[in-house]
Structure 1
């Protein structure tokens, strides 16, 4: 065995030790990738039912909002009807009431004037 053969054997041994030392992190990295794959699978399996539940909730909320929209339209119509009714009542009853009030004021003023009063109350 010559010096070059011994140097070759030493280099091969060092290379084998280096490969063995580098194999440990590669094996650990493989385990990390396996755990990551399992975590992604569990996340995917947990997300599907959650998305279905969210879809159901959104559909239910949409149905409730449509009901609320109908109620809001009915309240708006009722408000318009009450406004029209109060305007009609003010027109129908307001004019004659003002005339009656003016008439009674005139009668009271005439009665007070006849009885010698000034027609006005003293303060």
Structure 2
């Protein structure tokens, strides 16, 4: 055997050893990828009922939102009607009611003043006026 053949045998042995050393991590990586594939498959199988439930929930929420939109539209119409009715009431009865309230206030104040004047003889019903004698 020549030195070149011995060197070729050593190189071939080193190459076999290198292939064996690299085969172990590759086998482990293959197992890891297999486990990841199984985990993804299980997650996909369990996700279908979850998405179905979420879709059902969203359909119910959309139905309720449509009802709320209807209620909001009705409330808007009612508030508009109340506003119009209030404006009409203010325009037709507001002015006369304010005048009637002012009149009743003035009459009640005059009646009270008159009663006080009747209960206290000798005193004038107007305040702040000086008596003729110079004294009060």
TM-score relative to the length of structure 1? 0.72
What residue number does 1:44 align with? 44
What residue number does 1:62 align with? 62
> Aligned residue pairs: how many?
117
Q: Could you list the per-position Cα deviations for residues 13-64 of structure 1 after superposition, in whole angstroms to 9, with x for gaps in the alignment?
A: 2222121111111111111111121122122222222222221111111111
Larger radius of gyration: 2
What residue number does 1:75 align with? 75
- How far apart, in 1, do the equivalents of 2:88 and 2:50 lie? 56
- How far apart, in 2, do the equivalents of 1:9 and 1:98 lie? 121
RMSD between aligned residues: 3.0
What residue number does 1:86 align with? 86
Q: Which runs of 5+ in 1 are unaligned?
A: none
TM-score relative to the length of structure 2? 0.66
CA shift in 2, pair 1:19/1:101, >3 Å: closer
